[in-house]
Chain A
Amino acid sequence: MVVTGWGAVTPLGNDVESSFAAMREGRSGVRRVTRFDPTGLFCDIAGEVDDSAFWPLDEHGKQGGSAYRLARRAFEEATAGQLLAGIEDRFRIATIFGGHGHQPNEHEMAQLVACLDDDGRARADAVAALDDYQLSVFTRRQPDVVAALLAQEADARGPVAAIVSACAAGTQAIGEGLRLIRDGRADVVITGGAEPTLSYSGYLGFSILGALTRRYPAPEKASRPFDRRRNGFVIAEGAGVLILESLAHAKARGRTPLGEVLGYGDSADAYLITAMHPKGEGAIQAMRRAIDDAGLLPEHVDYVNAHGTSTPINDPTETMAAKAVFGERAYQVPMSSNKSMIGHTIGAAGALEAICTLRGMQEGVLLPTINQEAPDRKCDLDYVPNEAREMAHEVALSNSFGFGGQNGCLCLGSTP
């Protein structure tokens, strides 16, 4: 199964090439939030996308809100060159997309709060009197609206679904897309993820949960996966879109593969919704299943694109999981985190990291984990510290472990 198109919107660029080039240089896209005034919050930084050059959405597109705005931009890049043109049977094009839709902004929350009495009970008369709860407010909060609108945009009439497994959503969407093609239920799949995390309630929510970093000398120093001074993740917005199809299908229509999706594995931690299993059992299972699904063995894996969130628990647990999967060879398998540079894009992360992994294979480059300054004895693998590394590699894993306990792992391969 190959990737024939990709598109990315990240805090470091609004396409794959500019984002990849910036990450190759080890730059950070994290800065103080400008989308709203974060003064007073535990955390005031994020990975913001510069959307000033985005085309405005038409009335139809506005039904998808901020999530669709990001996804649409990545989709345009992924399908450039009329990538989906010439496919006669549009019923064989599926759309499987990760993300959680638009979260309420200040206005919407204030509006809804106005419908409550002082005891927190709903005043239905106030709800009933709302005169601007319009169709677009309804639709853009639906997690499936991005998938539905992308399918309409692409005239893709096959199966459509939205996957909502937090940080694992993008990876699971690609994995489910892979399975759709293997099952013969689609020839082409539009997949990926988009997350507009910088709506006020989304950002506030993660801040209140205590998941975000609280101590950082400078915004660009805040995301430091595997470093001893890490203390939480940096939230970010973004979108990644990939076009999947079988190699035979791509060749038959003269499309050039960009890379290969070899296998997919997923699992549930069944431990705590707020923390990984302390022994990384779910992560181990997802990684092993992805390798097995690809028909490979752990010794075939050259590189791991880590989930690498920069939280105190995730990074050593993921390290432990890698050791369980690779044994002593774990020390020879480089494992780096894109989140050190672009932050955590939640439902888009798996898609963006899959793209970065495949692009790195094309270039023979491993992207770095920046901000590696204070070694952590529990994180003692090769994280490609601070600088990109030239290294030809052909097989990689890309990990995503969701808040809530869902885990996904993709096994990716260089261009066949």
Chain B
Amino acid sequence: MTRPVGIAAYASRCALGNDDQQIDQALADGESAIGPLRGFDASAFGDTVAAQIWTEEDVDEDDPAIRILGPHGRILEHVVRRAYAAADLDQLPAERVGLYVGMGMVDAAVEDLVPAVAASRDADGELDLAKFFKGAYRLIHPLWPLSMLNNVAVGQIATDLDIRGDNLVLASDAVCGVRAILEAARAVREGIVDAAIAAGVSERVCPASLARRRVGVEGVQPMGEGGAALVLTNAVDGVALRLLGGATAHGPRDQRFASERAGEIALHQAGRSEARRLTDARTGVGDLGPGQAAFALARAAHDLAAGEVGLLTMDYDGSGMGPGAGALVVERPA
């Protein structure tokens, strides 16, 4: 027997706002989050814009948590903490709560290497690797390596919130956020945990991500020529999942969304080839994209008519390298 999993709470943060109310209002007002890049001189990239999260708190270099969490981990913690609290997960045994995170590309904090590199220059100002290896590297902060490990921020958040159940970190294709929700819902449904937070966080907006935006070879320009097809964004979302009977609503705003939140989650992941198969099965319908295929499969798997779908969100890895697409469907209750 299928045990329906409900969304007990959610939290999000993006360039439109630092909480759900701000984001909802901005969306209702038709605001755009896209603006000039901040934090570094991006003029050399031309008229580059981005949808950046920006608060003083996120860039406080004296905050010890930044060293462990990184900027992306810090905003991830904000939403996980809010979803956790709104769903009353602190009422459950710590080992019965899971944490599942899809995490975008994590860059080594190369700026932390500067003092060591400065001490390693030769007479011409070039980097002398022998000097670097033989001692200058000791100027690097001992916690710098944490910036290369995707899972450290998630481990720190589990520590801060005392979440001791399943802890899974997925990276870094565009579908990993949806997959995190899928795995969390499965764990709740199967009783591996009583509740779970599933979250996704994007990569940082930084010079490295701008450089990546422009990558490509002949015939493969995943971000469009010169990266023109992509506006960089950093954002984070988290949902708290519990068995449907255990989902709770909190406050007036939650009541407003109660019907959608109380629906069962149906998920499926589909790749480009799977989209092809669906298209083949529907000769004459035309090509389906992976996102459409994932949606169709999710509906079919849970026998949902289109009118029963309360909410649909889809992710698709457009890089040409990633695994495809995933769709999250929230059923509208009868």
B141: min CB distance to chain A, Å: 8
Q: Are B169 and A165 in contact (CB under 8 A)?
A: yes
A327 within 8 A of B: no
Q: Are A103 and B142 in contact (CB under 8 A)?
A: no
Contact with A along B99-141 (1 / 0, CB 8 A): 1000101001011111101100000000101100111010010
Q: Are A159 and B133 in contact (CB under 8 A)?
A: no
Q: Are A176 and B168 in contact (CB under 8 A)?
A: yes
Q: Are A104 and B108 in contact (CB under 8 A)?
A: yes
B217 within 8 A of A: yes
Contact residues, B153-180 vs A (CB, 8 A): 154-156, 158-159, 161-173, 176, 179
Q: Are A403 and B165 in contact (CB under 8 A)?
A: no
Q: Are B110 and A113 in contact (CB under 8 A)?
A: yes
A206 within 8 A of B: yes
Contact with A along B224-256 (1 / 0, CB 8 A): 000000000000000000000000000000000
A306 within 8 A of B: no
Contact residues, B167-217 vs A (CB, 8 A): 167-173, 176, 179, 183, 186, 206-208, 210-212, 214-217
Contact with A along B74-98 (1 / 0, CB 8 A): 0000000000000000000011000
A14: min CB distance to chain B, Å: 27
Q: Are A176 and B183 in contact (CB under 8 A)?
A: yes
Query: Assuming the A-B contacts A40-B134, A148-B321, A285-B95, are A159 and B167 also in contact, with contact meaning beta carbons closer than 8 angstroms in the complex?
Result: no
Using CB atoms, name the residue of chain A closest to B221: A135
Q: Are A116 and B111 in contact (CB under 8 A)?
A: yes
Q: Are B44 and A127 in contact (CB under 8 A)?
A: yes
Q: How many A-B residue pairs have CB under 8 A?
A: 247
B145 within 8 A of A: yes
Using CB atoms, name the residue of chain A closest to B166: A266
A112 within 8 A of B: yes
Which one of A270-278, A308-316, A335-343, A360-368 is at the B interface? Answer: A270-278
Q: Are A124 and B169 in contact (CB under 8 A)?
A: no
A373 within 8 A of B: no
B149 within 8 A of A: yes
Q: Are A281 and B164 in contact (CB under 8 A)?
A: yes
A350: min CB distance to chain B, Å: 14
Which one of B9-17, B35-43, B258-266, B303-311 is at the A interface? Answer: B35-43
Q: Are A164 and B170 in contact (CB under 8 A)?
A: yes
A252 within 8 A of B: no
Query: Assuming the A-B contacts A128-B45, A161-B323, are A112 and B208 also in contact, with contact meaning beta carbons closer than 8 angstroms in the complex?
Result: yes
Whole-angstrom CA separation of A268 from B284 in the bound complex = 50
Most buried by A among B118, B137, B150, B162: B150
Among A121, A123, A271, the residue within 8 A (CB) of B159 is A271
Whole-angstrom CA separation of A115 from B206 in the bound complex = 12
Using CB atoms, name the residue of chain A closest to B150: A164
Contact residues, A231-256 vs B (CB, 8 A): none
Size band of the interface chain A makes with B: 35 or more
**In the complex, what residues of A have CB within 8 A of residue B211's CB?**
127-128, 130, 133
Interface of chain A: mostly helix, strand, loop or mixed: mixed
A280 within 8 A of B: no
Q: Are A100 and B150 in contact (CB under 8 A)?
A: yes
B323: min CB distance to chain A, Å: 3
Using CB atoms, name the residue of chain B closest to A59: B217
Q: Are B159 and A124 in contact (CB under 8 A)?
A: no
A109 within 8 A of B: yes
B52 within 8 A of A: no
Q: Are B114 and A120 in contact (CB under 8 A)?
A: yes
Among B105, B117, B168, B222, the residue within 8 A (CB) of A163 is B168
Which one of A71-79, A137-145, A318-326, A382-390 is at the B interface? Answer: A137-145
Contact with B along A155-167 (1 / 0, CB 8 A): 0011111111110
**In the complex, what residues of A have CB within 8 A of residue B42's CB?**
124
Q: Are B321 and A125 in contact (CB under 8 A)?
A: no
B220 within 8 A of A: yes
Contact with A along B292-334 (1 / 0, CB 8 A): 0000000000000000000000000001011110000000000
Query: Assuming the A-B contacts A113-B113, A405-B167, are A127 and B208 also in contact, with contact meaning beta carbons closer than 8 angstroms in the complex?
Result: yes
Q: Are A122 and B207 in contact (CB under 8 A)?
A: yes
Which one of A48-56, A197-205, A217-225 is at the B interface? Answer: A197-205
Query: Assuming the A-B contacts A109-B113, A161-B323, are A208 and B145 also in contact, with contact meaning beta carbons closer than 8 angstroms in the complex?
Result: yes
17 contacts across the A-B interface (CB closer than 8 A): A37-B133, A103-B108, A109-B110, A113-B117, A122-B206, A122-B207, A133-B215, A135-B220, A144-B323, A162-B176, A205-B148, A208-B140, A209-B142, A266-B167, A268-B159, A269-B164, A404-B156
